[in-house]
Chain A
Amino acid sequence: MNTLFGEKKAEAKKLVFTSVDQYPEAPVSLDTTLSNFTGDWRTFIPVINEEKCVKCYICWKFCPEPAIYIKPDGYVAVDYDYCKGCGICANECPAKAITMEKEEK
């Protein structure tokens, strides 16, 4: 999986508490963003069409999370673990290379 944090993120285990006793006394360190994924909030998912992408990186610049990263080959990709599906990237893309599609869960 292509991700912003690569292997580091793959190593991190998401903390799941199943009883109240497992929680820390104070709400600290629930987890770092490496494993505290926020990408399951969305309804629509941005899909990038590399054939249309002109590598202008306006999507990368405008993403508020930021969940868009630049791959070694120069094209952009979305880290779906953090993308909340706001659609700003699709709205701003001058080449219309990003489309928002209903996500099947």
Chain B
Amino acid sequence: MAEYKPIKKVVSGNYAAAYAAKDARVQVVAAYPITPQTSIIEKIAEFIADGEANIQYVPVESEHSAMAACIGASAAGARAFTATSAQGLALMHEMLHWASGARLPIVMVDVNRAMAPPWSVWDDQTDSLAQRDTGWMQFYAENNQEVYDGVLMAFKVAETVNVPAMVIESAFILSHTYDVVEMIPQELVDEFLPPREPLYDLANFEKPFSVGALATPADYYEFRYKLAKAHEEAKKVIREVGREFGERFGRDYSRMIETYRTDDADFVFLGMGSLMGTVKQAVDLLREEGYRVGAAKVLWFRPFPGEELYELAKGVEGIAVLDRNFSFGQEGILFNEAKGVLYNTKARPLMKNYIVGLGGRDFTVSDVRKIAENMKAIIEKGELDVEVDWYHLKR
């Protein structure tokens, strides 16, 4: 094994995604440009034009077609990649089911962007979380490094369990902000991520078969069970692949929930994506001020890391769930999921939902401090003031 010397580049989150796709040796990219995803596919087109990557680029007329082309390519055995945002992801929705149902390990980067109207191009997790039930795995990146690492790991996990995966980054906060990213030399990526071995060979003309064929009520149910089991299996694979990634490249992803200073914490902030960088910084400051707080970042939202959340919940008195998303008629989506997982366990800390940062609203360290003060007060009192707090609301 060659010695690992990272290649440091200053890149945007979107370029980190494009470099990762190139280093993963994707064979087919089909995509349609949409803000703020556009520079991912522009960069890939540049790689192809400069002869740096041997990729078949399929320009399509919509995101629905982009996913359809990826499905065709993946069914034929290729490593396929695409990227999108918000309305584009929504337009793909129907095709996302075809990809996961046919067990095709496509990897997509979704640049989290608020759903319109009102028209918005800024950060909001509702677009990807609305695809929660499509059978895709979801990895939420906190920074540009995690975008790069996430794409490489997503391919390995996806191709092991034959389930497609999304790697999700924040609009502008990551997609267009430059940061140092440690990239991995090509030969080491190749060792980590060997060529894909497809589940079936569509090019075998001796034994023709159909893909995604009809299943009557006598058979459909079993295929759904198989996909459900694949997601269960994926939890194990994610931890193994994350551990291997850590051993090879020094950044450990063996846990699906990353914990930060949670060991002796009275309460923790639970959230996903870029806002957790702010939270970690705030935790350091709050610790200096005497607050015993920690941060827990859900890296993989699907499959959902219920076991790790339970372990976390056992040791704390409260969990402040920060949702940059909302499920109308109910509450924040991560809050909803986290509460659901803990219902049948003995760990029942006070849980409060803070709706933050929708549509790119700034979420800062001082916001975290205010939330910490509020959490401390409700824990001391032993009961919630409100369950769902629209934190930024102009009152």
Interface residues of A (CB under 8 A from B): 17, 20, 23-32, 36, 38
In the complex, the answer to whether B209 meets A29 with C-beta atoms within 8 Å is yes
Question: In whole angstroms, what is the CA distance A38 to B101 when docked?
Answer: 22
In the complex, the answer to whether B222 meets A26 with C-beta atoms within 8 Å is no
In the complex, the answer to whether B214 meets A23 with C-beta atoms within 8 Å is no
- B159: shortest Cβ distance to chain A, in Å? 13
Taking A20-B226, A32-B210 as given, write out 7 further A-B residue pairs in contact, using a Cβ cutoff of 8 Å, ordered by the A residue number. A17-B219, A27-B213, A28-B102, A28-B200, A28-B209, A28-B213, A30-B213
Residue of B103, B212, B213, B215 touching A25 (CB-CB under 8 A): B103
Return chain B residues, CB-CB under 8 Å to A27.
101-103, 211-213, 215, 223
In the complex, the answer to whether A28 meets B211 with C-beta atoms within 8 Å is yes
Question: In whole angstroms, what is the CA distance A27 to B200 when docked?
Answer: 11
Q: What residue in chain A is nearest B104 (Cβ atoms)? A: A26
In the complex, the answer to whether A26 meets B103 with C-beta atoms within 8 Å is yes
Residue of A20, A23, A29 touching B213 (CB-CB under 8 A): A29
> Chain A binding site: helix, strand, loop or mixed by DSSP?
loop
Interface residues of B (CB under 8 A from A): 101-103, 162, 199-200, 208-215, 219, 222-223, 225-226, 230
Question: In whole angstroms, what is the CA distance A28 to B215 when docked?
Answer: 10
In the complex, the answer to whether B200 meets A26 with C-beta atoms within 8 Å is yes
Return chain A residues, CB-CB under 8 Å to B199.
25-26
Q: What residue in chain A is nearest B223 (Cβ atoms)? A: A27
Question: In whole angstroms, what is the CA distance A32 to B162 when docked?
Answer: 23
If the complex has contacts A25-B103, A26-B103, A26-B199, are A20 and B214 also in contact, measured as CB distance less than 8 A?
no
In the complex, the answer to whether A25 meets B222 with C-beta atoms within 8 Å is no
Residue of B102, B208, B219, B225 touching A26 (CB-CB under 8 A): B102
In the complex, the answer to whether A30 meets B222 with C-beta atoms within 8 Å is no
- A37: shortest Cβ distance to chain B, in Å? 10
- B372: shortest Cβ distance to chain A, in Å? 47
If the complex has contacts A25-B103, A26-B103, A26-B200, are A36 and B214 also in contact, measured as CB distance less than 8 A?
yes
Q: What residue in chain A is nearest B101 (Cβ atoms)? A: A27
Return chain B residues, CB-CB under 8 Å to A25.
103, 162, 199, 226, 230
- A51: shortest Cβ distance to chain B, in Å? 37
Looking at B101, B213, B225, the one whose CB has the most chain A CB atoms below 10 A away is B213
Q: What residue in chain A is nearest B209 (Cβ atoms)? A: A29
Looking at A20, A23, A27, A38, the one whose CB has the most chain B CB atoms below 10 A away is A27
Question: In whole angstroms, what is the CA distance A66 to B199 when docked?
Answer: 32
Question: In whole angstroms, what is the CA distance A19 to B2 when docked?
Answer: 46
Question: In whole angstroms, what is the CA distance A17 to B223 when docked?
Answer: 12
Return chain A residues, CB-CB under 8 Å to B223.
23, 27
Question: In whole angstroms, what is the CA distance A5 to B229 when docked?
Answer: 38
In the complex, the answer to whether B102 meets A32 with C-beta atoms within 8 Å is no
Question: In whole angstroms, what is the CA distance A24 to B102 when docked?
Answer: 11
In the complex, the answer to whether A20 meets B210 with C-beta atoms within 8 Å is no
Question: In whole angstroms, what is the CA distance A26 to B211 when docked?
Answer: 8
Q: What residue in chain A is nearest B202 (Cβ atoms)? A: A28
Q: What residue in chain B is nearest A29 (Cβ atoms)? A: B209
Q: What residue in chain A is nearest B207 (Cβ atoms)? A: A29
- B115: shortest Cβ distance to chain A, in Å? 31
In the complex, the answer to whether A20 meets B215 with C-beta atoms within 8 Å is no
In the complex, the answer to whether B103 meets A30 with C-beta atoms within 8 Å is no
In the complex, the answer to whether A30 meets B215 with C-beta atoms within 8 Å is yes
- A23: shortest Cβ distance to chain B, in Å? 5
Return chain A residues, CB-CB under 8 Å to B208.
32
Question: In whole angstroms, what is the CA distance A23 to B219 when docked?
Answer: 9
In the complex, the answer to whether B213 meets A36 with C-beta atoms within 8 Å is yes
In the complex, the answer to whether A23 meets B226 with C-beta atoms within 8 Å is yes
